[in-house]
Structure 1
Amino acid sequence: MIQRALLRKQRLILLILLALIIATVVIGMGIGYSSLSYDRLIPTLLGQGTFKEEFVLFSVRLPRIVITLLAGMALALSGAILQGITRNDLADPGIIGINSGAGVAIAVFFLFFPVKAGPFVYLLPLVAFIGAFLTVCAIYVFSYNRTAGLQPVRLVLTGIGFSMALSGVMIVLISSAERAKVDFIAKWIAGNIWGSDWPFIWAMLPWLIALIPFTLYKAHRLNLMELSEPVTIGVGVPVERERIVLLLTAVALAASAVSVTGGISFIGLMAPHIAKALIGPRNQLFIPIAVLIGGWLLLAADTIGRNIVQPDGIPAGIMVALIGAPYFVYLLLRK
């Protein structure tokens, strides 16, 4: 039974985060290489803008804003799941190699399997999922011990090792590729929001619509899995089955995000921690908050990054890393 005071606090935090997201969206719509005055935003949204205003808003700004918001939500939820099932506060889809596995799969697909633009957009999340799934299977095998079960510290260390190895594979793949394709993969590695068009949103949205409610449905199981393994088994939870199902959920969320945003780390690390600090460790309470925090973090990072240096800006992945890397070191030292 969740206390009413905690539920009220959760609702208040959610409202504040929604207001913060709306404010950042409005700021993001108005600033950029092609300026759009704020007094023209509402007329343009209502279809009363000039051709240039409508093009800038509907073809350039809004798709990118929606993509970064959704991707940040997916990465935050993926990180929350990984931290729960591994009982390790340092787990993150970027740190433990899931993003790198998705990236290698996308690079192979992009370099060696030429596909028309239409199907390419919708195949990307699936290709990224396959790459991330194979990577996480290998990490799981190397982290699992028959007597002790899944070892959280070994999982993080193994994941970091796989991430470095896969980065090397990526360099080998692009070393003999065409210049245009190398530029695309380099942007992906840097975490540049490259899939900033409406079809990418429609390709990514079904994954979130299905997996966010599913994770909230599994929140109680996640609470139990964060206890010691004997206790979890003692209350009747099939640990290995639940862990595999939730691990696949985390992989699918991360893969759907990085397939259109590139290799972005640390969102899945920071957002769950901030949410737990605000409302506590109970998954039913902190997961909705973590999802909104993740969306806002990536949206804010991209909005700041693309306006610091004109016209190309700084990739969102680098902006997030500038904040996330020191935070990771802090957590590592604390733990």
Structure 2
Amino acid sequence: MIHSNLIKRQRTVLCLIVSLIIVTIVISMGIGAAALSYDRIIPTLFGDGSFKETFIIFSIRLPRIIITILAGMALALSGAILQGLTRNDLADPGIIGINSGAGVAVAIFFLFYPVQSGTFVYLLPVVAFIGAFITTLLIYFFSYDKKLPLDPNRMIIIGVGFSLALSGIMIILISSQDRTKVDFIAKWLAGNIWGTDWPFILAILPWLIIFIPYALYKANRLNILALNESVAIGLGVAIKRERILLLFTSVALAASAVSVTGGISFIGLMAPHIAKSLVGPRNQLFIPVAILLGGWLLLIADTIGRNIVSPDGIPSGIVVALIGTPYFMYLLLRK
């Protein structure tokens, strides 16, 4: 049973993060290459804006903001699940190779599949999921030992190795391709949020609608899996089945996000860890906080990145890496 004070604290933190997200959305809608007066944002949202104001908000900024928040949420939840399964705060879909697997699949699809605008948007998350899932199966296979319980550190180290190997495969893939296609893949690798139109929202949203409630439903299972295996077995948990289902969920969330935002790491590392420091380690408490934090962190990174340098800005993945790398080193040294 969760103490009522912790529940109150979680609600307070959730309200604070929602407020930060709203403030950041307003700031993000107002600034950019074409500045928009803040007193015109609300009238424009309710249909009382000029053609220019309506175009800037509804065709350029609002879809990008929504995509960024949804992708950040998916990456944060994916990281939280991975950290629970591996019992290691350093686990992140970008660090252990899941994002790289999705990236190689997306690159192959983009470079060699005849692109059709009507289906390309909706196929991308599926393709990214297939690549990420195959990578995860290989990591799990090489980490598994019948005689011993799953070693989380071994799994992370093997994942890092796969990430490096897949990065090499990506370089080989793009080294002999057309320049325009290579430019797209290069921006994707840097974490440039490119899926900035309404169809991309429709492509990623079903994945979150399915897997976020499922992860919250399985939060108590994650609490048990975070204990040692003998305790989990004693409590009647089917470890292998639960681990595979939750790993499947983590991969699906990461792949759906990566398919529209590019190779962004560290959101899945930072958001769960910060959430735990705010409301404690119980998954029922910190996962909702981590989800919102992930959306806010990526939105902040994208807002800074696209406005700090003109005209194209800096990819969100680079901004996140500038924040996340020192944080990763801090966690690594502390552990």
Q: Please report the TM-score for the alignment, with normalisation by the length of structure 2.
A: 0.99
Question: Could you tell me how far apart the structure 2 residues matched to 1:234 and 1:199 are?
Answer: 47
Question: Could you tell me how far apart the structure 1 residues matched to 2:323 and 2:207 are?
Answer: 27
1:85-100 counterparts in 2 under 5 A?
Answer: 85-100=85-100
How much identity, in percent, do the aligned residues show?
A: 72
Aligned to 1:298: 298
1:120-269 counterparts in 2 under 5 A?
Answer: 120-269=120-269
Aligned to 2:41: 41
Dislocated runs of 4+, deviation >6 Å: none
Amino acid at match of 2:195: G
Question: Could you tell me how far apart the structure 2 residues matched to 1:89 and 1:206 are?
Answer: 28
Q: Please report the TM-score for the alignment, with normalisation by the length of structure 1.
A: 0.99
Amino acid at match of 1:88: N
Question: Could you tell me how far apart the structure 2 residues matched to 1:276 and 1:118 are?
Answer: 41
Gapped regions of structure 2 (runs ≥ 5): none
Question: What is the CA-CA distance between 1:209 and the residue it aligns to?
Answer: 0.6
Question: What is the CA-CA distance between 1:42 and the residue it aligns to?
Answer: 1.2
Question: What is the CA-CA distance between 1:149 and the residue it aligns to?
Answer: 2.3
Secondary structure of the 1:121 match is: helix
1:54-73 counterparts in 2 under 5 A?
Answer: 54-73=54-73
Question: Could you tell me how far apart the structure 2 residues matched to 1:230 and 1:74 are?
Answer: 31
1:14-25 counterparts in 2 under 5 A?
Answer: 14-25=14-25
Aligned to 1:12: 12
1:72-83 counterparts in 2 under 5 A?
Answer: 72-83=72-83
Question: Could you tell me how far apart the structure 2 residues matched to 1:186 and 1:57 are?
Answer: 27
Secondary structure of the 1:149 match is: coil
Question: What is the CA-CA distance between 1:314 and the residue it aligns to?
Answer: 0.5
Question: Could you tell me how far apart the structure 2 residues matched to 1:245 and 1:74 are?
Answer: 16
Question: Could you tell me how far apart the structure 1 residues matched to 2:100 and 2:161 are?
Answer: 11
Matched residues, number: 335
Question: Could you tell me how far apart the structure 2 residues matched to 1:43 and 1:14 are?
Answer: 28
Amino acid at match of 2:231: V
Question: What is the CA-CA distance between 1:52 and the residue it aligns to?
Answer: 1.1
Listed one character per residue, the Cα deviations across residues 43-78 of structure 1 (whole Å, up to 9, x for unaligned) are 111111111111111000000000000000000000
- Say which is worse superposed, 28-37 or 42-51, in terms of deviation: 42-51
Could you say what the CA RMSD is over the residues aligned between the two structures, in angstroms?
0.6
- Say which is worse superposed, 213-222 or 140-149, in terms of deviation: 140-149
Question: Could you tell me how far apart the structure 1 residues matched to 2:209 and 2:169 are?
Answer: 33
Listed one character per residue, the Cα deviations across residues 231-287 of structure 1 (whole Å, up to 9, x for unaligned) are 001110000110000000000000000000000000000000000000100000000
Question: Could you tell me how far apart the structure 1 residues matched to 2:124 and 2:242 are?
Answer: 27
